[in-house]
Chain A
């Protein structure tokens, strides 16, 4: 299983798929690693900057509102005449001012003793020292009309049968009473709800909000003020108190927050914009999520396309491999369809040509082997030629009958050796020494039969004896020489020479006679037809040599009519193991 997996892992398809996946993975990772942090940081910075801008705008709005109310109060104070007791036209002016501004709950002017000279909310239920002890009264007098006092939100109780939830602004006003310069206080109550609406409207994300804190850290406004007072909610302002203006972060109830702090100029209250990091970064989170989805999808698409492409590229090779395995298993009739890239098609076409050539060569070899066997068989059959055998056996019997046992033994021995070498255990190629021995035994037999009719001189150079030769090549030539020479001779003995020698790269066996020679027209086709009269033929020898060693080897016959014949056998020098 593991070996199979390892083998699979080494396949081109797997390597291509993994390679392309690796490349895609690196590319996508780089994109993710490089782009995502950059863009997501950009998004979060933009989101925080937007939060800061929103708070800044809200501060501007509140600043403008406060400036406006302060201006209104200043205007109201400007309406107070020098002697407010005597000149009462300012009453209607104050009334008009209050009616014109719906945020104003009450406008009232108190003299230095705390007595109300006029109020748009009706006569106060308290005056005198009860008013003089109020913080808005004392603070206004302390500032001597240079600054406006701003109270925290509270319930106004000084007006009869009225309770308003207000913020009180007050400012000292100088006036004349009985010719004496006095300081009184103009009070202006603005409804808290109209003031709180300025900050309640501001939305910083789903959960974000703004609140106002005074210099002492007391909450002026907060969307959850009631819950804070009842203990159901809390607001950690420690981070705010440690910083006057700017950006800071803290954590409340497990959620990280960004606090944008700015100051309302007139009141020195701090406006705090609270935005939750997880909401601010929603766009960042959404972006990361989207990018992750896109990258994941890209990775999946890449995997699918890579798999398909790798298959498309490697399938022709796999097909090629599959067919080659069939050839390896012995099926040479396989044909590979050339498909895929041009290089693969080229390989497939070449492989097909190679297979065709192999098939042709194999047929040729089979054909040649068959021919060789056929020729050998013919040669062997010729060896067992009944005439030669009869004649030889007759000679042996005749010798024996005449008491010439020694000669009979010699002939029998020569015959046995002749047939043993002829068979040579079925081998087609034997040593030159064996071939010489073979022809020598033949000559012995024939010399006993045809006494004095011929002489045969057999000489082989020592270095030729170890060379390899096709068997049964000399004897047929000697037989041929004997047959033709003896038949046509006029009684004088024939001289036959058998030689074996080496040239630079050939083994040459020579059979030469001084017989009648071969007529020219006979010589022409002598290697293409079987010779007549009992021999296996020069053609047989020639064909066997060529089948064994190639067309460039074989017999060369030189002969002139009446002048003898020389037959040269040419074979390559080939020492070594027997065929």
Chain B
């Protein structure tokens, strides 16, 4: 009697287990718990930040995770803030800041605590980031200048990412990085265009300003006659606040970064880090904005980030 009774009891127990684990293990009840990612920023306002946040939120909504905005500043102790965030259950961090010092301290604090961090709109060696494709930005500017009939080019360059843009522009021109006519001295007040640069500034020359300040400087040069009226000014990363220059015809085209996809990609990379998957440097394509497409739906969130 023992064996059949044991078999019967085992079968009954197995059926109960099947029902229990089957119903409790259903996909809808076995969904992964949602995690919270913090978007750290210096200031909690700004049109660029707004679109970064919207993009990150869209990525969060897709996966059921959460995004929260947190401001940090260099005056307070970023390390303590990071530790506090971790205690509050923050699983990962997106960092968007302009201060190099703040970025450095936050990255260091995250490394110490093991909190996954993704840089937005910046790149740093050894860290996951989502930024604009700077080389493509430079290339798009040259391409547009050529489309507008420019045959010679002058670059108002800067350090940092502007170098990347210059490199992209040189590649588009098919020349080496040192060959494009590049003027760094535009930042100096009362600066005079050097002769080797001036010779490239004939009518129809393309003046490609590789930073926001450079765009304003180029416009000033145009208005004061330093640049001839026939010059084409193309700004790179001049910011949405320079859009009126395009509207007014002072700038012929702009290449602006796309913060919405940047935020989206950045959040995805943060999720990849949390899931233990490969995460690295991703880039979002910048947008070429011209008078023809300035008001189109395609670029509205880039050119007019605050528009509802």
Contacts and interface: CB of A to CB of B under 8 A. Distances in A.
Interface string B1-21: 101110111111011101100
B109 interface: no
A230 B264 CA distance: 11
Contacts of B308: 165, 191, 193
Interface residues of A, number: 40
Interface of A is mostly: helix
B154 interface: no
Interface string A288-332: 011001101110110111011011100100000000000000000
Contacts of A193: 308
A315 B3 CA distance: 12
Nearest to A302: B11
A308 B8 contact: yes
B9 to A, nearest CB: 7
A296 B17 CA distance: 11
Contacts of A315: 1
B307 A163 contact: yes
B101 interface: no
A165 B19 contact: no
Contact of B264 (A164, A227, A297): A227
Given A230-B285, A307-B8, A152 B58 contact: no
A155 B12 contact: no
Interface in B251-308: 258, 260-261, 264-265, 284-285, 287, 294-301, 303-304, 307-308
A226 interface: yes
B55 interface: yes
Contact of A301 (B15, B22, B54, B284): B15
Contact of B261 (A227, A305, A312): A227
A155 B11 contact: no
A198 to B, nearest CB: 15
B112 interface: no
A179 interface: no
A230 B58 contact: no
B47 to A, nearest CB: 12
B189 interface: no
Nearest to B14: A300
A252 interface: no
B247 interface: yes
A157 B295 CA distance: 7
A230 B284 contact: yes
A165 B307 CA distance: 6
Given A230-B284, A297-B15, A307 B304 contact: no
A38 interface: no
Contacts of A294: 19
B26 interface: yes
Nearest to B16: A297
A307 B245 CA distance: 88
Most buried by B among A154, A230, A289: A230
Contacts of B5: 308
A304 B9 contact: yes
Nearest to A193: B308
A227 B260 contact: yes
A225 B297 contact: yes
A226 B15 CA distance: 51
Contacts of A164: 307
Nearest to A163: B304
A227 B58 contact: yes
A304 B18 contact: no
Given A224-B58, A227-B264, A297-B18, A307 B7 contact: yes
Most buried by A among B12, B285, B297, B303: B297
A60 to B, nearest CB: 25
A232 interface: yes
Contact of B8 (A157, A219, A304): A304
A157 B11 CA distance: 75
B55 A226 contact: yes
Given A153-B300, A307-B7, 20 more contacts: A153-B297, A154-B300, A155-B295, A165-B307, A219-B297, A225-B297, A230-B287, A232-B264, A286-B26, A290-B23, A296-B22, A297-B19, A300-B12, A300-B14, A300-B18, A301-B15, A304-B11, A305-B8, A311-B4, A315-B1
19 contacts: A152-B297, A154-B297, A163-B307, A165-B297, A165-B300, A193-B308, A219-B297, A225-B297, A226-B260, A226-B301, A227-B260, A229-B297, A229-B298, A230-B260, A230-B285, A231-B285, A293-B19, A296-B15, A303-B11
Q: Which 10 A-B pairs have the closest CB atoms?
A: A304-B11, A311-B4, A230-B261, A304-B8, A155-B295, A293-B22, A300-B15, A297-B15, A308-B8, A226-B260
